[in-house]
């Protein structure tokens, strides 16, 4: 019985993941693709952007586990073996990083830091009138584990937090929830700072185009830490150019790495980070992945299993 680790991302150090998993599951043989000993032994594939088509090689595969929260890199494989559970990574360290990243940009925009930076360039001493956090509405698209955790930390700082998702939800505490396409315009029209945490699926691709962005109030901000492809990049650039959207902090893009000639790089109202908002921590994540593998071995369901309906 063995676990296969596979990734095409050169910055994902598979040896660190291997030792994390070895420590968490000393009883398991851990192999890094393409160095598995016997294809028949592989029962679990732990992957991040695995080479397309390879998972069909393992006849005894029981589950595919993602090294990250998102599974778009798994389901986009046209040769994925059918019928296997695909398990997302919900890890407290990753969630914590996403919270910190979101807080950074919310405060950057909320406290006018982006303006003071511009003012400093021309030695301008202008005190912007501050807005109280309770008068600022943060709208979060995608209220899964990560979206909820971000929302709750903003509620604790007295921001008004609203959320949007495709499915009805219960027990969101102080987060007012809007559901489905019929409530999207209502949600957007109240949002001063939009945080996107949605996963990329056929249902969320291009969910925010010019038709939807127009509902955001004049002078709003966008923080995208979900996936590129959810907010149409050309439409976003047009809304930034017109000032309707004042600034955007983007961590994810339609194409990654963001091509050198993409105009987002030089847009004065865009802040770019290279998909680092929630980096998986191998030591902590390996334990979570090991717990899920043990659950499957004991005939129980791992958490959370990806389904088209889950996650937002």
Chain residues binding ligand GLV by CB under 6 A are 68-70, 278, 280
Edge-to-edge strands, sheet with 270-272:
176-179, 160-165, 137-141, 193-196, 220-224, 245-250, 270-272
Beta carbons within 8 Å of 104's beta carbon, 6+ residues apart:
none
- Cα diameter, the chain: 69
Q: Which pair of structure tokens corresponds to residue 63? A: 């589950």
Shortest distance, position 148 Cβ to ligand GLV, whole Å: 16
Q: Is 275 a known active-site residue?
A: yes
Q: At its nearest, how many Å lie between ligand GLV and the CB of residue 288? A: 12
Report the residue number, 68 or 163, with the smaller CB distance to ligand GLV.
68
Per the CB < 8 A criterion, the answer to whether 161 and 133 are in contact is: no
> Of 100 and 131, which has the nearer Cβ to ligand GLV?
100
- The closest residue (CB) to ligand GLV is 68
Select 67 or 245, whichever has its Cβ closest to ligand GLV: 67
**What sections of 111-190 are H helices per DSSP?**
113-121, 145-156, 184-189
Task: Please give the structure tokens belonging to residue 153.
Answer: 């930390």
Q: Which of 18, 110, 136, 227 does the annotation list as catalytic?
A: 227
* The two structure tokens encoding residue 88: 């997302």
Q: How far is the CB of 250 from ligand GLV (least distance, A)?
A: 13
Closest contact distance (angstroms) between CB of 98 and ligand GLV is: 9
| Between 1 and 276, CB nearer to ligand GLV | 276
CB nearer to ligand GLV: give 69 or 247. 69
Q: Strand locations in the chain, DSSP E?
A: 2-7, 29-32, 42-48, 63-66, 86-87, 137-141, 160-165, 176-179, 193-196, 220-224, 245-250, 270-272
Least Cβ distance, residue 7 to ligand GLV (angstroms): 12
- Which of 50, 267, 275, 294 is labelled catalytic? 275
Separation of alpha carbons 240 and 267, rounded Å: 9
Query: CB–CB of 53/79 below 8 Å?
Result: yes
How many Å apart are CA 139 and CA 162, to the nearest integer?
A: 5
Question: 74 or 290: whose CB is closer to ligand GLV?
Answer: 74
As measured in angstroms, the least distance from the Cβ of 244 to ligand GLV is: 28
Is residue 227 among the annotated active site residues? yes
The catalytic residues are 227, 275
């Amino acid at each position: 019985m063995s676990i296969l680790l596979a990734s095409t991302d050169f910055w994902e150090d598979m040896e660190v993941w291997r030792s994390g998993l070895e420590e968490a599951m000393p009883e398991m043989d851990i192999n890094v693709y393409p160095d598995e000993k016997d294809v028949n032994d592989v029962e679990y594939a732990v992957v991040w952007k695995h080479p397309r088509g390879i998972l069909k090689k393992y006849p005894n595969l029981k589950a595919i586990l993602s090294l990250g929260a998102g599974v778009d890199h798994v389901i986009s494989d046209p040769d994925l073996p059918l019928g296997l559970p695909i398990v997302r990574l919900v890890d407290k360290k990753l969630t914590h990083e996403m919270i910190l990243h979101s807080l950074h940009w919310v405060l950057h925009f909320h406290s006018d830091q982006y303006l003071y930076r511009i003012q400093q360039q021309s030695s301008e001493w202008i005190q912007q009138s501050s807005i109280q956090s309770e008068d600022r509405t943060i709208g979060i698209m995608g209220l899964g584990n990560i979206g909820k955790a971000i929302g709750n930390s903003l509620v604790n700082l007295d921001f008004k937090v609203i959320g949007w998702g495709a499915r009805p939800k219960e027990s969101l505490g102080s987060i007012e929830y809007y559901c489905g396409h019929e409530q999207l315009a209502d949600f957007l029209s109240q949002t001063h700072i939009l945080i996107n945490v949605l996963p990329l699926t056929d249902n969320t691709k291009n969910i925010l185009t010019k038709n939807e962005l127009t509902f955001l109030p004049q002078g709003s901000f966008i923080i995208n830490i979900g996936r590129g492809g959810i907010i149409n990049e050309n439409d976003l650039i047009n809304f930034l150019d017109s000032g309707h959207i004042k600034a955007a902090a983007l961590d994810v893009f339609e194409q990654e790495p963001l091509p050198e000639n993409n105009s987002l790089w030089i847009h004065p109202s865009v802040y770019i980070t290279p998909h680092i908002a929630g980096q998986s921590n191998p030591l902590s994540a390996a334990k979570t992945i090991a717990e899920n593998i043990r659950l499957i071995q004991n005939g129980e369901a791992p958490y959370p299993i990806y389904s088209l309906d889950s996650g937002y």
